[in-house]
């Protein structure tokens, strides 16, 4: 028998090669970030097929057009290099879209053959000197060494590293300004965050902001570049902000946009968990109180009060129940925190992520959980199923990718996170703040009530 656990696993009689990974591809996360910049076009240096796969996932979740340009690798460019394709692609995109910025991410193929994207873009800029050209930012996103979340965070960091600059114009623009890096959340979450910041009277640079570009009002005609997104001058000004707030317990200690602004420009960073549930939201609101010097606005104090009232009213339905939580690492940590505080045991917390910080983060937020919690990263749905069968869950919570496993286990699946492509309105699921916790709590309670009602021979109509 091999001493390599990966080889040992594949030699198991139960091994099947179709695993359905609990993650997506790295440049997909980067493309989402680029769509959250005003006037930007996401661009993949790689094959057309990669762009098509990512567009399919993003469109089915957001139900909005999502253009991703590609340099369109062929056999010849794989052998001789993709420089000419990249130059031609950038020139075409600049002519067709007239974008303010092109955000370029690499793919598995271009990383494998060692394309030096930074050098290629430097040469391209030199060749375009004197002509009006869009801003170019780039990020390295080999999917074989990271998930869509690594791609997302790498793109946020790359954009800030390449655009942020101290300067007179930026300082004037950014006085009293807060950078907010929320991670990969829904369009509704982004709108709610802007509302919270407005009510705290804190000007904010929210990045990325795809709340309009990927959840727009109906239009009379197709717009090549949807309105909305973080303005480029605001991104340049991030270096002069009063403070940065960054969500993600699994990001602590890692190089991120907030850590870059802190170490390079002295912008203090508040690096906190994703505010899902009352306790994690309390940490966020306390951070805003500290930055603004103001108490939490009455509207949010009232929302918290109603949430506590709902927790009391619904406790008898949820206490002692068992859940499987899966998806993006920081969302799973937030959802586990919410479940733990309402008396539900998140018996399996699983993610395809590989940050190395996931298990500890789950332990932190479920420390007072009376039942053992299994936390696993780098997971696929086949492995999750092998563990889940012995855990007697009452429900699952996560993306649509868990639908098949939920069906096998005979438990309901509450849709949350990304992608939600077997239900409608995935982009409008609210996860964050007291309001998001309230909506998730109601969903959880009603899912448990419906299950009880449907499985009862009596057919209760009063529960
Ligand atoms: S080849 Fe790599 S970059 Fe392209 S879709 Fe597949 S995982 Fe993503």
Tell me, in angstroms, the distance from the centre of ligand 1 to residue 53's CA.
Answer: 8
Task: Ligand 1: list residues with CB < 6 Å.
Answer: 25, 27, 50, 53, 107-108, 143
Q: Which pLDDT belongs to residue 21?
A: 87
Using one digit for the tens of pLDDT, what is the confidence trace for 41-91?
A: 999 999 999 999 999 999 999 999 999 999 998 888 889 889 999 999 999
Q: Angle of helix 433-455 relative to helix 278-292, nearest 10 degrees?
A: 170
Q: Ligand 1: which residue has its CA nearest to atom 6?
A: 50
Residue 369: the pLDDT is: 94
Out of 50, 139, 140, mutate this one to test ligand 1's pocket (max ligand atoms within 8 Å of CB): namely 50
How many A from CA of 108 to the centre of ligand 1?
6
Query: For residue 109, how far is its CA from the centre of ligand 1 (angstroms)?
Result: 8
Burial code (b: 16+ CB inside 10 Å, e: under 16) for 434-451 equals bbbbbebbeebbebbeeb
Calculate the alpha carbon distances from 188 to 29, 55, 84 in Å: 18, 20, 40
Residue range 442-451, pLDDT digits in tens: 999 999 999 9
Give the pLDDT confidence score for residue 62 in this predicted structure. 97
The pTM is what? 0.94
CA-to-CA distance for 309 and 447, rounded, in angstroms?
19
- Please tell me the residue having the least CA distance from ligand 1 atom 8: 25
Q: Which backbone phi and psi does 314 adopt, to 5 degrees?
A: -95, 0
State which ligand 1 atom lies nearest to the alpha carbon of 108. Answer: 2
pLDDT at residue 2, rounded to an integer = 46
Residue with CA closest to ligand 1 atom 1:
108
Assigned token pair, 184: 């990969």
State in Å: Cα 376 to ligand 1 middle: 24
CA of 457 to the centre of ligand 1 (A): 49
Of 338, 336, 360, 356, nearest in space to 348 by CA: 336
Residue 94: both structure tokens together? 């600049």
Cα of 224 from ligand 1 centre, angstroms: 25
Sign of CA dihedral 432, 434, 435, 439: positive
Ligand 1, from 30, 143, 154: best to mutate by most atoms within 8 Å of Cβ? 143
Greater confidence (285 vs 9) lies with 285
What does the pLDDT look like over 291-325, one tens digit per residue?
999 999 999 999 999 999 999 999 999 999 999 99
CA distances 3 to 9, 71, 229, Å, are: 11, 42, 50
Concatenating the DSSP letter of every residue in 172-187 gives HHHTT-EEEE--S--H
Atom of ligand 1 nearest to the CA of 54: 5
228: left (phi over 0), alpha (psi -120 to 50) or beta: left
Which atom number of ligand 1 is nearest to the Cα of residue 107? Answer: 3
- The tens digit of pLDDT for each residue in 149-158 reads 999 999 999 9
| Contact yes or no for 244/254 (Cβ under 8 A) | no
Tell me the C-alpha distance between 402 and 366, whole Å.
Answer: 22
Statement: residue 212 has pLDDT above 90: yes
Residue 171 has pLDDT above 60, yes or no: no
Closest CA to 430 of 422, 442, 412: 442
For ligand 1, atom 4, name the residue with the nearest CA.
50
- Kindly give, in sequence order, each residue whose CB lies less than 8 Å from that of residue 324, ignoring residues fewer than 6 positions away: 346, 347, 348, 350, 384, 388, 391, 393, 395, 396, 397, 398, 402, 411
| The pLDDT of residue 10 | 58
Question: In the predicted model, is pLDDT for residue 380 greater than 70?
Answer: yes
Assign 169 a pLDDT band (cuts: 50, 70, 90).
low
Asked if pLDDT for residue 8 goes beyond 60, the answer is no
Pocket of ligand 1, candidates 72, 105, 108, 144: which has the most ligand atoms within 8 Å of its Cβ, to mutate?
108
Q: How confident is the model at residue 6 (pLDDT cuts 50, 70, 90)?
A: low
Only one residue has tokens 């655009």, namely 163
Cα 185 to middle of ligand 1, angstroms: 22
Q: Report the pLDDT value the prediction gives residue 459, as an integer from 0 to 100.
A: 74
């Amino acid at each position: 028998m091999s001493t390599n656990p990966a080889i040992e696993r594949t030699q198991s009689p139960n091994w099947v090669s179709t695993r359905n990974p609990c993650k997506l591809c790295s440049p997909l996360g980067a493309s989402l970030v680029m769509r959250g910049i005003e006037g930007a076009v996401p661009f993949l240096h790689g094959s057309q097929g990669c762009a098509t796969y990512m567009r399919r996932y993003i469109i089915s979740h957001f139900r909005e057009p999502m253009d991703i340009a590609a340099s369109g690798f062929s056999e010849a460019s794989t052998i001789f290099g993709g420089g000419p394709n990249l130059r031609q692609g950038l020139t075409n995109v600049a002519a067709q879209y007239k974008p303010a910025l092109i955000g370029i991410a690499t793919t598995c193929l271009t990383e494998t053959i060692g394309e030096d994207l930074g050098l290629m873009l430097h040469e391209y800029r030199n060749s375009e000197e004197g002509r009006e050209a869009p801003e170019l930012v780039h990020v390295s996103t080999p999917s074989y060494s990271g998930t869509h979340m690594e791609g997302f965070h790498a793109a946020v960091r790359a954009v800030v590293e390449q655009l942020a600059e101290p300067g007179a114009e930026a300082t004037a623009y950014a006085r009293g300004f807060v950078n907010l890096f929320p991670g990969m959340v829904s369009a509704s979450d982004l709108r709610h965050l802007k509302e919270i910041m407005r009510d705290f009277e804190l000007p904010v640079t929210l990045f990325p902001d795809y709340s309009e570009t990927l959840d727009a009002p109906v239009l009379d005609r197709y717009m090549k570049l949807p309105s909305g997104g973080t303005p480029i001058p605001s991104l340049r000004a991030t270096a002069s902000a009063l403070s940065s707030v960054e969500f993600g317990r699994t990001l602590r200690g890692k190089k991120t946009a907030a850590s870059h602004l802190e170490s390079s420009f002295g912008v203090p960073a508040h690096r906190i968990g994703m505010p899902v549930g009352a306790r994690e939201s309390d940490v966020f609101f306390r951070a805003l109180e500290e930055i603004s010097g103001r108490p939490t606005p009455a509207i949010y104090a009232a929302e918290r009060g109603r949430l506590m009232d709902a927790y009391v009213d619904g406790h008898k339905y949820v206490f002692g129940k068992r859940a499987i939580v899966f998806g993006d690492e920081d969302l799973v940590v937030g959802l586990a925190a919410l479940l733990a505080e309402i008396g539900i045991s998140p018996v399996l917390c699983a993610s395809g992520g590989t940050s190395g910080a996931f298990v500890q983060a789950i332990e932190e937020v479920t420390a007072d959980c009376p039942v053992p919690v299994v936390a696993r990263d780098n997971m696929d749905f086949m492995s999750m199923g092998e563990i889940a069968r012995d855990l007697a869950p009452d429900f699952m919570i996560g993306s649509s990718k868990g639908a098949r496993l939920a069906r096998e286990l005979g438990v309901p699946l509450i849709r949350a996170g990304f992608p939600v492509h077997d239900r409608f309105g995935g982009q409008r699921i609210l996860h964050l703040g007291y309001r998001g916790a309230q909506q998730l709590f109601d969903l959880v309670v009603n899912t448990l009530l419906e299950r009880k009602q449907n499985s009862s021979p009596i057919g209760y109509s009063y529960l």
